[in-house]
Amino acid sequence: MCFNGCEKYPGDEGLLSEKSELTIEEAKAFVDNQNLLLFSLKSGDSQEHKINIRTNWDFAKCINNEKVSVVETLIESMGRFGFATPECFEEWKASGDKAYLYSMSKLVVIKLKKTNQMYSFIMTVAGDKQYVEGKHFDLYGNTYLKRDKNLSGYVLFHNLDGKFVNGWVYCDGQITNTVIEPENLDMQVRLKSALNVLSLNQWYEECEFWITYYIGSDGNIHITEYTESCRDILVFLGYYETGDFEGEPTDGGGGTSGGYTPNNPIDPNLPCSNDPIKNPTIASSGPSGQHGGLFGCVRQGDNDCSEGVYNKFHGGIDISADYGTDIYSMYSGTAKIHYEPGGLGNYIIVSSSINGQSVWIYYGHLSAINISNNQLVNCGTIIGRSGNSGNAGSTTPHVHIQTFVNGTRVSPLQYFYTQFDPNTGSVLNDPCNSL
């Protein structure tokens, strides 16, 4: 869901870049509306254990670079869980020191500055034995955007449902390999034939209370000491493979290499947030030419504009769209379905609160409606398909977009991601789908 993170702040262009940075409140709203949270540990033979986790926003931090805006915070779990390298695992068995089992997991929310797309996921750092000993088991120096310069071990990314997405192997702060979760891995065959199989001991200690965190007198984050008895540590062996890493050696934080890389993080077929279709252009509408698709007195005909050749008022803008094109809601809000046979035909109004104002955005001449009346939609929800219903039967295919702000009709141009020249209709900025 997009919430504020999706919204621009019309009339406040000078502050746009600043406001496009993610706030803790936005990150929290984004995560709260996903089905948090069960983290599942899986063994190679499909044993599975689900763990309740929750976020602790008291430790949330905002970090930004030129491409992404990040909020990361701690997660708490019902019982303890973690990932341990084989060497650390052996050390725990030999010494009984549970610190060797410990790995650090954070909840991370990122917003891509160019598109406002947001993702949330869990980042886990599991250091190798030498590294965790050198850091006195404090792994919190590793953030999403920057890894500790001495990090040796693994960084893993999981979705909030616990599904492994991708990971990285580090040696002295440099990425050396990728981590891959093989699908349907036949361990018998692979273990004999491949040297690059990596096993991580995923462990879980069942407790009937939340394991929480606090900042100690030393300023570092600690896990609550607990005396209540927990059940034995259960171990699930997780098998991964390491893959080649061909990127440039960097500090290895997200935003360079080393980030969370879900499949198709940016789908080039999707429109940018705040655009109703991908790469919109203003339609040349009817015999009056290019200007006719713009807002205002841009057409010839009725004399509802006082003077001049272009004396017919157009109450919105026309965005070119082949018949049947998916139309996306530009903002989150409440969608209402309407029908006006001599005008906008089948149309939808999505009412949103944008920068404290009540904004109604109309999507007209649709051929299909994909939502139900009064449905809550998100920025990016497909609400209908373009068409020529109403009085658009003889014009080039387009979707008519018009806006009312606090009840007053205004030009809709400011509500698009794509910026148009209000006089010529030409596009002024780069498409967003090129990150």
Task: Return the number of the residue (72 or 318) whose C-beta is nearest Zn ion.
Answer: 318
Task: Return the number of the residue (146 or 400) whose C-beta is nearest Zn ion.
Answer: 400
Task: Return the number of the residue (150 or 391) whose C-beta is nearest Zn ion.
Answer: 391
Q: Which residues contact 307 (CB under 8 A, 6 or more apart)?
A: none
Binders of Zn ion among 140-169, rule CB under 5 A?
Answer: none
List the x/- string, 23-62, binding to Zn ion by CB under 5 A. Answer: ----------------------------------------
- The answer to whether 299 contacts Zn ion (rule: CB under 5 A) is no
For residue 10 the two structure tokens come to 């019309």
Task: Return the number of the residue (114 or 400) whose C-beta is nearest Zn ion.
Answer: 400
Specify the 3-state DSSP secondary structure of 425.
Answer: coil
Quote the DSSP letter at residue 100.
G
Residue in 400, 412, 425, 432 binding Zn ion, rule: CB under 5 A = 400
Q: What is the DSSP string of 7-50?
A: ---TT-GGGHHHHTS--HHHHHHHHHTS---EEEEE-TTS-EEE
Task: Tell me phi and psi for residue 114, to 5 degrees.
Answer: -70, -35
Inter-CA distances, 190 with 110, 240, 407, Å: 36, 11, 66
Q: Which stretch binds Zn ion (CB under 5 A): 105-113, 223-231, 328-336, 394-402?
A: 394-402
Q: Which stretch binds Zn ion (CB under 5 A): 38-46, 51-59, 248-256, 397-405?
A: 397-405
Task: Return the number of the residue (204 or 362) whose C-beta is nearest Zn ion.
Answer: 362
Min CB(395)–Zn ion separation in Å: 8
Q: Using CA atoms, how far apart are residues 161 and 226, in angstroms rounded to an integer?
A: 27
Min CB(293)–Zn ion separation in Å: 7
Count of residues touching Zn ion (by CB under 5 A): 2
Q: Which stretch binds Zn ion (CB under 5 A): 44-52, 208-216, 400-408, 421-429?
A: 400-408
Min CB(326)–Zn ion separation in Å: 19
Specify the 3-state DSSP secondary structure of 92.
Answer: helix
Min CB(418)–Zn ion separation in Å: 17
Binders of Zn ion among 308-327, rule CB under 5 A?
Answer: 318
Task: Return the number of the residue (102 or 347) whose C-beta is nearest Zn ion.
Answer: 347
Distance separating the N- and C-terminal Cα atoms of the chain: 20
Beta strands per DSSP E along 245-316: 296-299, 312-314
Min CB(415)–Zn ion separation in Å: 15
| Other beta carbons within 10 Å of 87 | 12
For residue 160 the two structure tokens come to 């909030």
The vertex-280 CA angle with 274 and 283, nearest 5°, equals 130
Task: Return the number of the residue (113 or 400) whose C-beta is nearest Zn ion.
Answer: 400
Q: Which residue is nearest to Zn ion (CB)?
A: 400
Q: Which residues bind Zn ion (CB under 5 A)?
A: 318, 400
